[in-house]
Amino acid sequence: EADPTVCSHSRRAQLRLCLERLKGLVPLGAAAGRHTTLSLLTRARLHIQKLEDQERRALHQIEQLQREQRHLQRQLEKLGMERVRIDSISSSLSSERSDSDQGES
C-alpha cells in the first residue's frame, strides 16, 4: 500500500506544476510576481470568460457573414440569369436586323 505522505507530496507537486503552467497561460498584469492561488484562479476564470465572449462574438460574426454571402450569391445568380436573358434578346434582335438587312438588299 502507498504511503499517504508520499501521495500527499506527489499531489502537492502536481498542483504546483499545474499552477505554474496556469501562470504561463493567464495574463497576470502588473501583479505577475506576487499572486495567491486564489488570485491566479480568479484571473484564470475571468480570462476564460473573456475568451468565451470573444468566441461567441466571432461565431456571431461568422453567421452574419455567411448570411451576407448567401444573399450576395443569390443576387449574383439573379444577375447571371438576367444577363443570359439580355444576351438572348440582344442576339435575337441582331439576327432580326440582319434578316431585314438582307431582305432589303
pLDDT tens digits, residue range 3-49? 778 788 999 999 999 999 998 898 877 665 677 889 899 999 999 99
Under DSSP, the state recorded for 34 is S
Q: Is the pTM above the cut of 0.75?
A: no
The stretch 51-66 carries a mean pLDDT of 98
The number of distinct structural domains making up the chain is 1
- Residue 29's pLDDT is what? 74
- Residue 103's pLDDT is what? 63
User: Is residue 24 included in any domain, yes or no?
Assistant: no
User: Is residue 1 included in any domain, yes or no?
Assistant: no
Q: Is the pLDDT of residue 71 over 60?
A: yes
Other CB atoms within a 10 A radius of the CB of residue 44 amount to 17
User: Is residue 27 included in any domain, yes or no?
Assistant: no
Domain that holds residue 87: 36-92
Q: Show the cell assigned to 32.
A: 505577475
- Residue 4's pLDDT is what? 74
| 22 and 44 Cβ atoms separated by less than 8 Å | yes
Cα distances (angstroms) measured from residue 72 to each of 8, 65, 82, 83? 63, 10, 15, 16
User: Is residue 30 included in any domain, yes or no?
Assistant: no
CA 48 to chain centre: 17
Q: Show the cell assigned to 41.
A: 484562479
The stretch 77-84 carries a mean pLDDT of 85
